[in-house]
Amino acid sequence: MNLEPSRLETVFLPRIWGARSLAPLFPERTTLPEPIGEAWLTGNDCRFATGPYTGRKLGEAWRAMPAEWTGSRLGGEGTFPLLLKFIFPEDKLSVQVHPDDDYARRYESRQGGRGKTEMWYAVSARPGAEVMVGLKANVTPESFRRAVADGTVEDCLERIAVSAGDAIYVPAGTAHTIGPGLVLCEIQEHSDITYRVYDYDRLTAEGTPRPLHIEKALDVIHFGEQGGGKIEPVRITRGSVTETYYVACRYFATERWEFAERIAAVTQRQHFDLLIVLSGNGRIEWRDAAADYAPAQVWLLPAALGAYQLAPAGPTTLLRTYIPDVNDFVRRLVDQRIEESAWSRLVYP
């Protein structure tokens, strides 16, 4: 089977808090009949648009992929391990929390048994846009429960102002919500388990409130801990590319690449790479072949692809994400003479 970068088709999902225009990422989707909240880039139902798996759904194809595609360290993963999304909130999301892997395995096996640690990259942000991530230090389970009941739960959360290019880390067990005026790229464990604790008294199209999961949320929220928040990235310029490093944990590592001239890169046999094009057009070139890239696309690069080049038609910005060996991630930064005080801010368990 040929090893080649392969593009996935996006699946759009309606959400009560979503937007009716997804421009500029999706300029053809500007007058939508229902609000779209999420664009899934690597959902199990996303089909390959190019490459040897063309027409097949990612979830099905993943189970058949050899190690040359998945990477030598990922052969035991029964389902595709990373879920990438664009999020388009025109209203606040519910205040919510996600379980960790241990809790999900014990209590959510029917939903896949995988927890959800995530990060958000702000593709765009209107003035005043914010997220709320983590609880204030004095919040207890009892005071949180009272705040949920009387509608003051936002007073328990830490507010974070967000500008384009910011990144936020949200480990499992962290209460959070996202405000309007943002377009986010979310990188997460492949799980959709959400415990909703407050939904602003909204009603569905059928006139019913969405279900809440307060007891489970109280089980998994990390009271007295603040493990997430805005990331202080590390930037490195190498030749014609500026690399911005955001985070490395056991589930994913994420970098931003900005370039306006041809750059060369190499995949690692231990893991596949995902490239999410945020802006710019150009070509991915490998061996004796090439394919065009464009904004809002995601490309899966097989682990054993090896050398490839990105030839931009103009300035390009993309995110690269993968499942790292965290020690290798640290070594790369140390080799670039990045101080421990800087790289240690990016590394999580």
Element (H, E) at 182: strand 182-189
If DSSP codes are grouped into helix, strand and coil, which group holds residue 226?
coil
CA distances in angstroms from 57 to 9, 65, 159, 160, 269, listed in the order given: 9, 12, 38, 37, 23
Can you give the C-alpha Rg of the chain in angstroms? Answer: 20
β-partners of residue 177 are 132
Cα distances (Å, whole numbers) of residue 331 to 74, 334, 340, 348: 21, 5, 11, 15
User: What is the torsional sign of CA 227, 228, 229, 230?
Assistant: positive
Residue 119: C-alpha distances to residues 73, 218, 230, 302, 309 (Å): 22, 22, 10, 23, 27
DSSP 3-state assignment of 10?
A: coil
What is the Cα–Cα distance from 258 to 241, expressed in whole angstroms? 6
* CA distance linking residue 184 with residue 272, whole number of Å: 23
Start-to-end CA span in the chain (Å): 36
DSSP assigned state of 48: B
Measure the CA–CA gap between 160 and 177, rounded to whole angstroms.
11
Task: With beta carbons less than 8 A apart as the criterion, state whether 36 and 22 touch.
Answer: yes
Q: With H, G, I as helix, E, B as strand and everything else as coil, classify residue 167.
A: strand
Q: Specify which residues 121 forms β-bridges with.
A: 167, 185
Which amino acids are annotated catalytic? 196
